Structure 1
Amino acid sequence: MILELKNKFENLSPEEMMIARWKHEQRKDDRRLLSAIDVNMGAELYPGLAIFFAKMVLGNPAKTFYPLIDPTISLTWLYCNGCQLCPTKSSLKFKLNHYEVSNSIKGKNVACDDKMCSMIDKNSMEQECSDNICKYSMEYVFGGAMTAGNVVSDTLLINTVTGNNQTSPVFTDFVFGCGFDQYNGLENSDWAFDGSLGVGMSNLSMLSQLIASKHVKKNTWSHCFKRESKGGTMAFGEVEMQKEMKMTPLVPDSEMYKVTVVNFSIGGKPIAVDDEQETLIDISSAYNYFPDTIYTAILTEIQNAFQNLKFTQPDPFSCFLYNNGRIDDDFPVITYTFKGGVELKLSPNQYIFERSADEWCLAIINSNKKTLKNYFIITESALMGRLVVYNVGKKKIGWTDYDCECHEQSRLISHMKY
């Protein structure tokens, strides 16, 4: 399943974009390929950053929804028609769509004795029943945002790979949440999408449901985000690589995608990290987070290399003036090393952004104020220009540099393994 990316908000100034994007981060804190399937994706664009969302077609008659892609949750949910605590508009300048189960001839509430209802209790969510309707209540990891409503089922339109790099539309049953009540940020119009597409690791995720319906054979999904946040693709199923991809194990017993950093350096200089330093991979966030000691060390190393550089106090970014050369040529590369020897390098243009003429900002955040205090959090800005493979079945993740800019859906489909 491939998700095509688009972008908006190209007319905002760099400063407006950075601050607006930070407000989205704050909202998150306050709320919380045998590829058989193609899905369309989009992106809200900021300088070097994007908020990735999926195009989902549900119901009969069909209706299109645009949920935010979120790997920190498993159950997909949409704002429900008639909900009292839901945004009615979005600052993203597109119309919000609320789901109405009675508008689809295939739509129905999930009964309390349905096996999908029984999974709610097993997946970090509360489940209850009323009038034989399965209900859910889910709290986000970051800061306590909550969504609650009915568990529903409807038909999902997917594009299955049929051979010769072609796709064919197919309908499949899909279970998701119909959110009547949202709290602690999700009820606001700022940065509102139609809901969230859950790609976490549980039997409730879209990937798990596609496997159960035999539309996908391998418990794997991937994404390839173009540089400069100009779009990209996402696929459910196994992608056949020309050479073996190095992978690092996922931290066990977690629905989220966590890996372990064993070494860290800036400009080739090692910086000590804690033993078994857990790192969250979260493409629903934009700015990369660092533990306090690492964040401070990054600023110190840059200041040591550029003696005349003066940083502003973080608000939320530390900024500086620089007009003596090219940022990408002059500033150091940041390197993470994970278990298994897998490396991830951040070039300067992935962690430094131009705010105005000759004014630059470090687009990195100190994680001492996050719910996951002193975590590394790797976000979409670190993963652009790379094919990232989440092998959920074997509990590992890997990436490789990839020309996401040039390939279209057909090129990625040509790498899908049957």
Structure 2
Amino acid sequence: MYTTTVKLGSPPREYTVLIDTGSDLLWVSCNHCDNCPRSNGVGFKFNFFDTIDSSTAAMIYCSDRLCPFGVQGVDVRCLPPIKQCTYTYGYQDNSTTSGVYVTDEMHFDMILGQPSPSSVNSSATVSFGCGTHLGGGLIETPTAFDGIFGFGPGPLSIVSQLSAREIIPNVFSHCLKGDGNGGGILALGAVVDPSIVYSPLAPSKSHYYMNLESIAVNGQLLSIDPVAFSPAKYGDRGTTIDSGTSLAYLFPEVYNPLVNAITSMVSQFSHPFVLAGNPCYLVSTSVDAFPLVSFNFAGGASMDVKPAQYLVQSDFMNAGLWCIGFQKVESGHQILGDLVLKDKIVVYDLANQQIGWTNYNCSMPVNVNVTVSKDKNNNPRAKRSSSIISSELGILSKLLPVIIVALFIPFL
């Protein structure tokens, strides 16, 4: 799980929130939350939002157009006598948050570029949730934080709110460092790199569904029935990209041939066995000897996953034990989480309904472009920025301030 910091209110106050592309809502814990954790397993200091402490905060009432009735995934209610716009929001792991909708200022840095980049403090009024009750895994203290920052494609997300007012383009990017120490890059704008490949998004209002077509191991296509990759009529199958999920979850008809192919290719130098239901390998060599896994998506875009990205080192027995990070899921949809997204630039280009990616060293600076063409056939290499962003993204205890990048780039 990766975190960032978001500044809300006047005067601004920082909140540490989990980054989740599988949900839309930004919410932080309210000061009158009845069961929000007060501590976690990494010595984190919690902050609680209080509308009284902010001169720009305002409640959202049922009569307000901002009260999001009918938004997918949200149960909105209006309770007398004050009729505040209240909500219950559910997540895929069956955890929930309930609270009230409020508006307040979100503060961010705008990086103005060309010829020399400079940072300017700015803010915008946004609507978000003030959590008064949590359920499920959200109250488990080892992974508890101030809230969740949803980057989903729905109208509730901050990206959708700000892009609708033309404050930012309808695109954001991240690069998650995978060395175990956290860090990376998060930008509300399009990271530009000549090696990025794009694949179109499948129609969906609530998740980033991708058209996965095949899987190869060391370049050899696996024999998998194409039906296993096809989304069902009502969206209960298919493949999604979700940074809020740590591992990757595949259907049995996909998972089994993939794991079998990996095991077969490493049989000469590893000792495979099952630990807690997961395929594991005792090896004396580097994991670089394991095969490369390629997820092939529509449009000819392949996502290459290196051994260090799909293997998880186990602390059981000794340091030479590695387990497959892919998990088997019987129903719902397949999820490609942080396990395969780390050490990659990932661009969520909602304006053009596509997602792009490339392998990248997330410790390095990147070029960011906020001028996103509406032409789906536009070559993203054609517009490039001279501005450099190099910020720290968090994994559990490491933090990243939210950055909005405003670059003045001539059309070429």
Same fold, TM-score > 0.5, yes or no = yes
Specify the alignment match of 2:376 in structure 1. none
CA 1:385/1:212 → structure 2, altered by over 3 Å: closer, same or farther?
same
Q: Return the match for 2:202 from 235, 245, 251.
A: 251
* d(CA) in 2 for partners of 1:302, 1:61: 54
Q: Give, in whole Å, the separation in 2 of the partners of 1:273 and 1:265.
A: 13
Shift of 1:148: 0.9
Counterpart of 1:128? 77
Is residue 345 of structure 1 aligned with residue 286 of structure 2? no
Q: Which runs of 5+ in 2 are unaligned?
A: 231-237, 368-386, 391-404
The aligned length equals 358
Query: For 1:303 and 1:103, how far apart are their aligned partners in 2?
Result: 57
Question: Would you say the 8 A contact 1:227–1:405 is kept in 2?
Answer: no
Deviation per residue, 1:250-300 (Å, 9 max, x gap): 120332111011111112222214334321111112212222122222332
Q: Per the alignment, in what secondary structure is the counterpart of residue 139 of structure 2?
A: coil
Equivalent AA in structure 1 for residue 345 of structure 2: L
Residue 411 of structure 1 corresponds to which residue in structure 2?
388
Superimposed CA distance per residue, residues 198-254 of structure 1 (whole angstroms, 9 cap, x where no aligned partner): 1111221111122234321x2111112234144111111234x36484311112033
Distance, in Å, in 2 between the alignment partners of 1:279 and 1:416 is 33
Aligned residue in 1 for 2:273: 312
Q: Secondary structure of 1:335's match?
A: strand
1:263·1:273 contact (CA, 8 Å) conserved in 2?
no
Q: Residues 2-151 of structure 1: matches in 2 within 5 Å?
A: 51-117=1-67, 119-130=68-79, 131-140=82-91, 142-151=92-101
State TM-score, norm by structure 1.
0.80
Distance 2:193 2:142 in 1: 43
Task: Report 1:294-305 matches (<5 A).
Answer: 294-305=254-265
Aligned to 1:293, which of 253, 257, 276? 253
Q: Which amino acid aligns with 2:259?
A: L
Matches within 5 A, 1:211-222: 211-216=163-168, 218-222=169-173
Offset at residue 174 of structure 1 (A)? 1.5
> How big is the shift at 1:348?
0.9
CA offset digits 1:132-172 (Å, max 9, x no partner): 311111111x2422111100111111111323321201121
Is the partner of 2:388 in helix, strand or coil? helix
1:195-206 equivalences in 2 (<5 Å): 195-206=147-158
- In the alignment, the residues of structure 1 paired with residue 90 and residue 76 of structure 2 have an alpha-carbon distance, to the nearest angstrom, of 12
Contact 2:325/2:339 (<8 A) preserved? no
In the alignment, which residue of structure 1 is the partner of 2:139? 187
Return the alpha-carbon distance in structure 2 between the equivalents of residues 191 and 399 of structure 1: 28
1:263 and 2:223 aligned: no
The ranges of structure 1 where at least 4 consecutive aligned residues each deviate by more than 6 angstroms after the TM superposition are: none
Residue of structure 2 in register with 1:238 after alignment: 190
Deviation at 1:408, TM superposition (A): 6.9
For 1:287, the aligned partner's letter is L
Q: Which region of structure 1 is more displaced relative to structure 2, 291-300 or 92-101?
A: 291-300
Shift of 1:67: 0.9
Name the counterpart of 1:171.
Answer: 123
Show CA shifts across 1:315-351 (max 9, x none).
153222111x3220x2111111001010001111111
CA distance in structure 2 between the aligned counterparts of 1:307 and 1:237, rounded to whole angstroms? 44
Stretch deviating more after TM superposition (405-414 or 159-168): 405-414
Amino acid at match of 2:34: Q
Q: Which has the higher helix share?
A: 1
Q: Separation in 2 of the partners of 1:228 and 1:357?
A: 16
Identity of aligned residues (%): 26
Structure 1 CA distance, aligned partners of 2:131 and 2:70? 17
Q: How many angstroms apart in 2 are the aligned matches of 1:295 and 1:123?
A: 30
- Closer/same/farther in 2, CA of residues 353 and 182 from structure 1, 3 Å limit: closer
CA RMSD of aligned residues (A): 2.3
1:358 is matched with which residue? 320
How does 1:374-413 map onto structure 2 within 5 Å?
Answer: 375-407=333-365, 411-412=388-389
Q: Which amino acid aligns with 1:54?
A: T
State the distance in 2 between where 1:393 and 1:146 align: 30
Gap change, CA 1:316 and 1:120, over 3 Å in 2? farther
Structure 1 unaligned blocks of 5 or more: 1-50
SS in 2 for 1:208: helix
Matching residue's letter, 1:76 = L
Give the structure 1 partner of residue 179 of structure 2.
228
Query: Secondary structure of the residue that 1:336 maps to in structure 2?
Result: strand
Cα distance in 2, alignment partners of residues 364 and 132 from structure 1: 46
SS in 2 for 1:161: strand
